[in-house]
């Protein structure tokens, strides 16, 4: 079959999946009575309407429907985004101390009042896209206020810090620390602050934000990226000393294309020339070390691969490899992106009515009985994958 026909099939299948599976599923979780979207659905596909509502989940749903509306133009999607926006504005924002809570009750009362830099970033990301979608000036103002909070309360001279209590006093970082370490800085938070600021800069072209983006690119270049191993380090102490031998394949393939997107939006030739070599190396290294059987391993600790296939890792693999193909014109990346989509169809998408993707499957493709929706399980990765494929191949 000709490559153009294969790409056409790939594009159409992904578009159908977005419009016929993902969008209806997440619309079905809209909480018309209490606001926002239901925060939990177990493996049994029973939604728990009384479960807490994670503010990261709500931000990611806001981002999803805002971008789906911009791509597809369906007014219903605009209303879906407005519903998420109202909940974020009225319940997720702390009117007393500023910033975004970690979670609220199903009724919208503050529950976990931790202020995490990562969480503030996702609200900026979502609010910036919502502003672009509907031109709601208040959304852009809120995004700017959250950026000011990050810059004034969530960082020091060395870069971005992690967790704080409600009044922005330092707190332990259980939420973004794993593998037996407690990190004071993480690659993950830095990446998603970069992602959020890229979107904010795209819609407002604020020069301060351009400066922050350049500072983060320098941190990635000088502190996070390990040139010897051609990977990012993951967990750090305050002085940027790596705490563990961990290779996060999913974050590296995601970072490769998010950094390329940031460089494109920033439009600074000197930074592009210097940093784009990193994204090329990361893409190739992930492909060489972790791409197997049309899918990507999760991570490797101390050189031992975790062969679990996680939903978000497979979604980011499609986008990262497609980006690698477009940046470097290597056919193997395009073939691997298509192959990963075939794997997703075969193993990751839950065929049951009223579901979307499994959280993860083992190396034999058997799903683990984990929730379909919970504070981290969202339409951001797989929904964004669909939208990126549509935009890149159309």
Each residue of 72-106: pLDDT tens digit? 999 999 999 999 999 999 999 999 999 999 999 99
* DSSP 8-state class, residue 176: G
> Which stretch of 176-190, 223-237, 249-263, 277-291 has the lowest confidence by average pLDDT?
176-190
Are 126 and 60 in contact by the 8 Å Cβ rule? The answer is yes
Q: Which domain holds residue 374?
A: 3-393
Residue 53 tokens, joined: 């509502």
Closest CA to 390 of 342, 296, 319: 319
Place of tokens 């978000």: 312
Distances (CA, A) of 52 to 57, 106, 373, 377: 11, 5, 12, 13
Share of the chain above pLDDT 70, in %: 98
pLDDT confidence bin for 216, thresholds 50/70/90: very high
Q: Rounded to an integer, what distance in angstroms lies between the CA atom of residue 368 and that of residue 361?
A: 6
The separation between the first and the last C-alpha atoms of the chain, rounded to the nearest angstrom, is 19
* DSSP 8-state class, residue 368: P
Number of domains comprising the chain: 1
Q: Rounded to an integer, what distance in angstroms lies between the CA atom of residue 272 and that of residue 162?
A: 28
pLDDT digits 0-9 by tens, 260-284? 999 999 999 999 999 999 999 999 9
Q: Which residues are within 8 A (CB) of 294 and not within 5 positions of it... i.e. 6 or more apart?
A: 336, 339, 340, 342, 343
Residue 325 tokens, joined: 């193909």
Q: Is the pTM of this model over 0.85?
A: yes
- Pairing mode, strands 115-116 and 53-54: unpaired
pLDDT digits 0-9 by tens, 46-76? 999 999 999 999 999 999 999 999 999 999 9
Q: Distance between alpha carbon 46 and the CA centroid of its chain, in Å?
A: 25
Query: Quick one: pLDDT at residue 7?
Result: 82
pLDDT confidence bin for 4, thresholds 50/70/90: low
Residue 6 tokens, joined: 């294969």
Q: Rounded to an integer, what distance in angstroms lies between the CA atom of residue 47 and that of residue 29?
A: 8
pLDDT digits 0-9 by tens, 294-303? 999 999 999 9
Closest CA to 232 of 246, 243, 218: 246
Query: Quick one: pLDDT at residue 178?
Result: 84
On average, the pLDDT of the chain sits at 97
Average pLDDT over residues 138-145: 98
Residue 133 tokens, joined: 């979608």
Helices (H), ranges, the chain: 3-17, 23-27, 55-72, 75-87, 117-134, 137-153, 187-204, 207-219, 249-266, 269-290, 311-328, 331-343, 380-393
Q: Is the pLDDT of residue 3 over 60?
A: no
> How would you label 189-213 residue by residue, b for 16+ Cβ within 10 Å and e otherwise?
bbbbbbbbbbbbbbbeeeeebbebb
What CATH number has the domain bearing residue 170?
1.50.10.10
Q: Is the pLDDT of residue 382 over 90?
A: yes
Average pLDDT over residues 213-240: 98
Distances (CA, A) of 89 to 34, 85, 86, 123, 247: 14, 6, 5, 10, 37
pLDDT digits 0-9 by tens, 171-214? 999 999 888 899 999 999 999 999 999 999 999 999 999 999 99
Are 311 and 381 in contact by the 8 Å Cβ rule? The answer is yes
Distances (CA, A) of 250 to 122, 253, 282, 385, 390: 18, 5, 11, 13, 21
Query: Quick one: pLDDT at residue 220?
Result: 98
Residue 342 tokens, joined: 């075939």
Place of tokens 């997720």: 92
């Amino acid at each position: 079959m000709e490559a153009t026909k294969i790409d056409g099939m790939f594009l159409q299948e992904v578009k159908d999946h977005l419009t016929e599976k993902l969008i209806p599923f997440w619309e079905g979780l809209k909480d018309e009575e209490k606001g926002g979207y239901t925060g939990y659905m177990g493996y049994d596909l029973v939604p728990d309407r009384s479960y807490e509502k994670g503010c990261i989940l709500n931000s990611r749903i806001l981002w999803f429907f805002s971008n789906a509306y911009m791509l597809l133009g369906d007014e219903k999607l605009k209303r879906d985004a407005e519903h998420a926006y109202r909940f974020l504005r009225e319940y997720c924002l702390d009117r007393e101390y500023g910033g975004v809570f970690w979670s609220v009750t199903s009724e919208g009362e503050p529950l976990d009042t931790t202020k995490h830099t990562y969480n503030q970033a996702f609200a900026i990301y979502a609010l910036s896209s919502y502003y672009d979608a509907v031109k709601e000036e208040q959304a852009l103002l809120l995004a700017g206020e959250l950026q000011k909070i990050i810059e004034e309360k969530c960082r020091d001279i060395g870069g971005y810090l992690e967790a704080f209590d409600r009044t922005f006093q330092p707190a332990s970082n259980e939420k973004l620390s794993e593998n037996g370490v407690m990190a004071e800085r993480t690659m993950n938070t830095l990446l998603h602050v970069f992602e959020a600021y890229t979107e904010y800069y795209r819609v407002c072209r604020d020069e301060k934000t351009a400066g922050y983006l350049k500072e983060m690119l320098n941190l990635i270049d000088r502190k996070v990226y390990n040139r010897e191993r051609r990977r990012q380090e993951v967990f750090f102490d305050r002085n940027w000393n790596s705490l563990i031998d961990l290779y996060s394949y999913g974050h590296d393939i995601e970072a490769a294309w998010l950094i390329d997107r940031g460089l494109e939006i920033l439009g600074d030739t000197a930074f592009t020339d210097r940093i784009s070599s990193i994204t090329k190396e990361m893409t190739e290294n992930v492909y060489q070390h972790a791409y197997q059987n049309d899918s990507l391993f999760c991570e490797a600790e101390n050189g031992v691969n975790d062969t679990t296939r996680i939903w978000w890792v497979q979604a980011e693999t499609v986008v990262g490899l497609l980006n690698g193909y477009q940046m470097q014109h290597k056919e193997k990346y395009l073939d691997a992106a298509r192959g990963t989509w075939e794997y997703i169809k075969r193993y990751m998408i839950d065929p049951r009515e009223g579901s979307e993707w499994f959280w993860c499957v083992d190396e034999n493709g058997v799903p683990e009985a984990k929730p379909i929706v919970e504070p981290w399980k969202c339409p951001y990765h797989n929904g964004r994958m669909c939208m990126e494929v549509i935009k890149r191949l159309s």
